[in-house]
Amino acid sequence: MDKIKFLGTAGARFVVTHQLRKSGGIWLSLDNTNILVDPGPGSLVRVLSSKPRLNPTELDGIILTHRHIDHSNDINIMIEAMTDGGFKKKGVVFAPSDAIDEDSVILNHFRNLPEKIEKLYEKGDYKIGNIGFSTPIRHRHGVETYGLNIFGKKSSVSIISDTQYFDGLEKYYTGDVLILNVVLLENKPGIQHISIKDAEYIISRNKPKLSVLTHFGWNLLTKSKPWELAESLSKKIGVKIIAASDGMEIDLNKYH
């Protein structure tokens, strides 16, 4: 089954440190290829407690969009789990250069466990198993950060990871399914994340077959209800929009 599993939907430090939402990242199964995107705190626990249970030894690769701890905390344990405790050299790990070269989030002990570690670059094209993905543009965030366009035989998934909105951002992410990290209820000067208003603008122009809001920040969760915001936007724009919840699974076969 081609699917996306939201292991967690927490965004930024306060939601993560309070575990108001879980922070395990996203598991994508497409064309018999399994990848884990942004294994934040608790990722391994969320993988093993998933229903139905996910098997980390079936992972073909792990992608870090950037080094911030809410995205990378479990990278080492997930590498070890992917490689069956380090006894099977397998899988590819992808991360920006500053997550590998500068105060690396991948400890030396774990670097030789996967088949290889590849650096992400702007306008990069990559391969994992039967699927490809690209990193079209560097985002505006506190560290080197990239969104993803993931391509299968029939389905395409775009993930807009953490970034401040900038002119033309939406043009780089035109997948059938669009996942947006929406941390902010309202834009705040100096905070390099997108807001609900930014998400509305992006979705209204791209009009994907499905849009999914996730990676929610503190104010968005405590001062509003993401599922109501998504429903309101869906009616306003005329595009199917949903707010992800922890453990939610999406059947990609419905959105070719």
Inform me whether the pLDDT recorded for 61 exceeds 80.
yes
Residue 255: pLDDT band (50, 70, 90) is confident
Domain residue ranges in the chain: 3-105+113-255
* Predicted pLDDT at 256: 75
pTM for this one? 0.97
pLDDT grade, residue 102 (50/70/90)?
confident
Question: Which of 39, 87, 79, 74 minimizes the C-alpha distance to 59?
Answer: 79
pLDDT at 88: 96
Structure tokens at 25: 């990242």
Q: Is residue 124's pLDDT more than 80?
A: yes
At residue 1 the predicted structure's pLDDT band, cuts being 50, 70 and 90, is: confident
Q: What's the CATH architecture for 3-105+113-255? A: 4-Layer Sandwich (3.60)
For the chain, where are the E strands, in sequence order?
3-6, 26-30, 33-37, 61-63, 92-96, 116-120, 124-128, 131-135, 148-151, 156-160, 177-184, 194-195, 210-214, 241-243, 249-251
